[in-house]
Structure 1
């Protein structure tokens, strides 16, 4: 029998399991088949939806906060807090999944609620705040976020602009003098796996707004609004953060974080450091990574690949479990992943895999346990 801990580092299986559930269900199958194996569940995320939950699993406490959703409706969110450190997950306040079922709101969705979450962390006296971005419904350049923290964005008449990225085309002045002074005493970290700039062909509007329901005409409107907003902010600051890596994250919420002095780190690195992954790898004999769909985008630094790369460098074998596997064995092997298990293949169809994720993860866990113990 192979000795050492089996380390489970799964991200969410979107639509069927959170990262915590995915790790738990896989662990159930392993423990049932091989009770003698030591299993550690370490759910992961890369800055998008589920990041706060992953930090809670790592020992942070949940602090509930009621904030404005992307279209202004109240939503229930929470911070992940430990001591004077907090994690703010943008998706909880400004996420695409919070939009009404009748459609998207690419021109009007706002990050105001994310700013409210940041303000709640300041109210708790936090001195380090991780802003985890990803999964946003917004393309407002983070204007809503800044306004929630005391900034003003006004038109030529001095009236506050309505929410959303389209309105930024009418901005005449950005006033940052009213920003919450407590921000000056806080270390702000922008956690994002996106390194896009704010503007241009690789920017927030061109690349990400179509994913949020914007048609080509709306993309042009949003690009114009973001460009005007960036010019006004640059004139106020005396420097232009719009070209910096990560400025285009979450529809430009990354730009707002950089305006506030944030340092950017890949979201997966922030979480893995918190999990103490390198220390855990020292006692691991197998690492299992996974997410709903293991595809080409995963290979660009998503959480499972971030874990696999560290395990590879530590000399620990890695296997993958995913709802669907859409990359080749050779591509996975380049990151140290020696085998991959598809729930869709096991179930016979993606629909069955979505509907019976718990059963399939438990069955896969049992199979992994038998192989690892033999």
Structure 2
């Protein structure tokens, strides 16, 4: 049997590369003769910068920034190797990710992308001509306002004063205009592309506040406040800049960071299309009998552009079955059967705290892969 192993990472636990190794070990326990091809996939969230730097022989730059709750943190960005154009890769999660926010501080009305703009400014200061931004695993819902402020933008309130610097999404309720006259000069010479969930939009019932706000710690009242703030943001952008972004594809990525990136001329790219280029995935499904992918959770949001769904959609076109190993199985996860995920299972074996699950990830993921493959082996015997 030829098995393609192409997991995403488990947030706050293991990288895609490590997850692939654990899954591969489990497969071989069940079917020692299996041929395994590992293609770890970093979808723009945690691990994206390191994955691209490793793939190109680049380097990681350390940089201190303002984190999502306003305190200084140690962060980083990458400079790719083997490129004719000097290219930086930034994962927004390294400066504004959910894993950087203690559970008791998770209030997406207040968290900021200011540190993301600081990483961009640092890359521009060293003369990069291209920035690849990974949008994923965010802990913010400020529409990219903090990022814009870090790059020199003024966000002006109805009273004519600047909105609070790094004030979070809730401050956008009072937005009336912009001043981009003092933006970082390097923005005029750089091409920016963002790897994002193309299906996430900024506003409306399917907007980022309604869909993802509660996952980031927002109460029902805070979710309504964020939705109103981002609606105001979109209206002011349309009125003052002539850009209609409320339902633009990708505008809601990373708590609306996609919208902020559009304002500085970035090109937003669907995750899988970008990954196909960056990680040379043209031949991903060639010569395999089964695909095993993995992610921290599978639920009714998985079909909205997450790695297991994107893999499954393309595997189904080729008639290749797909199994997903997930940390948790969430609400209405069965909808994933409609997009080509043939089976999914949780790696958990008993009720566990998050800390316990993280500590045992290697064993849990290895044994889950082994169990899945033993069931596959039984199916093959029954089919004879």
The TM-score bracket by the shorter chain reads 0.7 to 0.9
Deviation at 1:330, TM superposition (A): 7.8
Structural mapping, 1:164-243, within 5 Å:
164-193=168-197, 195-243=199-247
What SS does the aligned partner of 1:289 have? strand
Structural mapping, 1:1-80, within 5 Å:
2=1, 4=2, 6-31=3-28, 37-56=34-53, 58-59=55-56, 61=58, 62-80=60-78
Structure 1 window deviating more from structure 2 (156-165 vs 82-91): it is 156-165
Does the aligned pair in 1 maintain the 2:112–2:146 contact within 8 Å? yes
| Match in the other structure for 1:300 | 304
Structural mapping, 1:78-227, within 5 Å:
78-82=76-80, 83=83, 84-155=86-157, 156-159=159-162, 161-162=164-165, 163-193=167-197, 195-227=199-231
| Match in the other structure for 1:268 | 272
Instruction: Count matched residues.
Output: 369
Deviation at 1:53, TM superposition (A): 4.0
Q: Distance in 2 between matches of 1:328 and 1:244?
A: 26
Deviation at 1:67, TM superposition (A): 1.5
For CA contacts below 8 A with separation 6 or more, give which structure has more relative contact order.
Answer: 1
1:128-160 residue CA offsets vs partner (Å, 9 max, x unmatched): 322222332222221111111121123435445
1:92-111 residue CA offsets vs partner (Å, 9 max, x unmatched): 11122222453223332211
Q: Distance in 2 between matches of 1:254 and 1:106?
A: 16
Closer, same or farther: CA 124–9 of 1 in aligned 2, 3 Å: farther
Q: Distance in 2 between matches of 1:324 and 1:209?
A: 19
Structure 1 window deviating more from structure 2 (7-16 vs 257-266): it is 7-16
Does the aligned pair in 2 maintain the 1:329–1:339 contact within 8 Å? no
| Match in the other structure for 1:284 | 288
Deviation at 1:173, TM superposition (A): 3.4
Q: Distance in 2 between matches of 1:205 and 1:120?
A: 29
Q: Distance in 1 between matches of 2:191 and 2:346?
A: 41
Q: Distance in 1 between matches of 2:30 and 2:108?
A: 48
Q: Structure 2: which 5+ runs fail to align? A: none
Q: Distance in 2 between matches of 1:284 and 1:193?
A: 27
Closer, same or farther: CA 73–348 of 1 in aligned 2, 3 Å: closer
TM-score, scaled relative to structure 2 = 0.82
Deviation at 1:254, TM superposition (A): 1.3
Does the aligned pair in 1 maintain the 2:200–2:253 contact within 8 Å? yes
Closer, same or farther: CA 195–177 of 1 in aligned 2, 3 Å: farther
Q: Structure 1: which 5+ runs fail to align? A: none
Q: Distance in 1 between matches of 2:370 and 2:221?
A: 51
Does the aligned pair in 2 maintain the 1:63–1:78 contact within 8 Å? yes
What SS does the aligned partner of 1:199 have? coil
Instruction: Say what the alpha-carbon RMSD is for the aligned residues.
Output: 3.2
Deviation at 1:292, TM superposition (A): 2.4
Closer, same or farther: CA 57–363 of 1 in aligned 2, 3 Å: farther
TM-score, scaled relative to structure 1 = 0.84
What SS does the aligned partner of 1:241 have? coil
What SS does the aligned partner of 1:141 have? coil
What SS does the aligned partner of 1:300 have? coil
